[in-house]
Amino acid sequence: MAATPKPETLAAFEAAKGFMPVREGLALHKAAVDAAALGLPLLEVGTYCGRSTILLADAAREAGVTAVTVDHHRGSEEQQPGWEYHDPTVVDPEVGLMDTLPAFRRTLHHAGLEEHVIAVVGRSPQVAKVWAGEVGLVFIDGGHTDEHATNDYEGWAPKVAEGGLLVIHDVFPDPADGGQAPYRIYLRALASGAFTEVSVTDSLRVLRRVASGI
């Protein structure tokens, strides 16, 4: 499979609601293509409206594996009312809470990728506890507090198969550029000795699992 997505896939990605820039998206897609060769699922923590899911699903489709995405769909802390990334169009008017699941489903439908994705609606630590198998890739892009980032790392990094990839988004070494929680779990992954860095694309870090034990 080509390391770059087809034009229609890239167009669907660019049209989808979300925050990932194209350069980082292309790096994510390349990592997903690499990891999909292991024949294991590709797993994303933090779905929002499915922008990055399109890229994982495209790689999964071509390799004959499945993309899995985990999110409670109530929005992370910075997406709540009064915060910078709040979008009132994804608030459920009946219950008054964010609900990005309908937008996510529309995103996959428009991209023609619904059958290649399993959407798990739940909180990352709970899902990780009941997930028994290995995965070829884990993409961490959930809540950006230390609590949430640490839970995502501790819950999912051990499930990356040897030779598989751990991808972390919004890694900012300089605090002036953004929150530090993803950067801290990135450093923790490197310090563990279980991962080695493969690539850096702006705030996206790709690490390969090279040893057991985290």
Q: Which residues are catalytic?
A: 144
Alpha carbon of 61 to those of 15, 65, 153, 168: distances in Å?
Answer: 20, 6, 26, 22
Supply the DSSP symbol for 84. Answer: T
Q: Who's near 115: CB < 8 A, 6+ residues apart?
A: none
The HSE-up count of residue 28 (CA atoms within 13 Å, CB side) is 31
Alpha-carbon gap, residue 59 to 128, rounded angstroms:
23
Point out which residues pair with 169 in neighbouring strands: none
Output phi, psi for 140, to 5 deg.
-95, 115
Supply the DSSP symbol for 148. Answer: H
